[in-house]
Structure 1
C-alpha cells in the first residue's frame, strides 16, 4: 500500500515527539495497530474523534493539526509536499492547502519548494491587488 500524506504527517509528528506507535496509542487511547495502518496508508479515513485524540496526544501545533485534518479528506496530496511543509514551519497552512490542490498536465511536477514559491507569489500578487483597490 502506498503511503499517504496523512500517514507521512502523523509519523512525522509522532517522531518529532520521539514517541513509538505504542506510546502514542497509550497516550491517545487509539489502537496501536490502527495507528500503524494510518501511518502506512492502509487506512485513510479516521473519524474526527480519532484525529482529535491523536493530535491532542501529539501536542500538534494549530497549523500542523489543520494540515492533518485536511489530509484526512484529501488522500491524493503529495507526500513530498507534506514532508517539505512539515520541515518548514514558517510556511502557512493556506499555502500548503493551495499547493496541494494544484493540478498539472502530464507527468512533470514541480518540486515542493518551487510549488510553495509559486503559491507564495500568487498570495503576494493578490495582496498587491487588494492594496491597489483601496
Structure 2
C-alpha cells in the first residue's frame, strides 16, 4: 500500500474512533503494545494482517503519537497479540493492586519512575525494559557469558544516552 493510501486508512481510523468514542491513554499503552508485539516476533505489517488495525496506526500508538484508540481497536490488538484484554486496558485504567504478583516487564511499563530525582523519558523506559528482557532471556553460561555481557553493555549505553 502506498503512503497516500495509508494516510487515507489512518483518516478513516480516526473518523471511526471519533464516531465510537475513544479513550486517552498513557504512554504506557504504546510501550506495552510494542513489548507484546516484539514478544510475538510480529512486524507491524503482520500485526495489521492479524488484527485489522493499520500498521501505521499501531506504529503511532507505540510511539505515543496517538493516544486515543477506541475500545474496538484495543480489543482487536489484545486478541491479535493473544493477551487478556485486561492487560492492555490496565495501562489505561490503573486500579490499586492488592498482593497479586506482577510481571517485572508489566511493572516497568505501567508505572512512571524517577532516577536521580528526574522522571525517566519514554526512550529511557523502553531501554530499561530491553535491559530487563535481555537479562531474563540470555543463556548466561560459560559459552555465552562474554557475548551476553557485551550485549548488556550496549543496552546500558543506550539507556545512559536516553537518561
Distance, in Å, in 1 between the alignment partners of 2:60 and 2:71 is: 16
Distance, in Å, in 1 between the alignment partners of 2:29 and 2:39 is: 15
What TM-score comes out, normalization by structure 2 length? 0.43
Deviation at 1:36, TM superposition (A): 0.4
Q: Does 1:70 align with 2:93?
A: no
- Give 3-state SS (helix, strand or coil) of 2:53's partner: coil
Closer/same/farther in 2, CA of residues 31 and 8 from structure 1, 3 Å limit: same
Q: Does 1:15 align with 2:34?
A: no
Higher RCO (CA-CA < 8 Å; seq separation 6+):
1
The corresponding residue for 1:51 is 74
Computing the radius of gyration over CA atoms, which structure comes out larger, 1 or 2?
2
Distance, in Å, in 1 between the alignment partners of 2:80 and 2:37 is: 9
For the 8 Å contact 1:29–1:53, the answer to whether it is kept is yes
Within 5 Å, which residues of 2 pair with 1:1-134? Answer: 4-60=27-83, 62=84, 65-73=85-93, 84-86=104-106, 100=111, 107=117
Aligned residues: 86
How far does the alpha carbon of each residue in 1:49-103 deviate from its partner, in whole angstroms, 9 at most, with x for none? Answer: 001111111011x3xx3131122357xxxxxxx9934389xxxxxxx97xx4x9x
What TM-score comes out, normalization by structure 1 length? 0.52
Structure 1 runs (4+) greater than 4 angstroms displaced: none
For the 8 Å contact 1:14–1:24, the answer to whether it is kept is yes
Q: Which runs of 5+ in 2 are unaligned?
A: 1-25, 95-101, 120-163
Distance, in Å, in 2 between the alignment partners of 1:108 and 1:7 is: 21
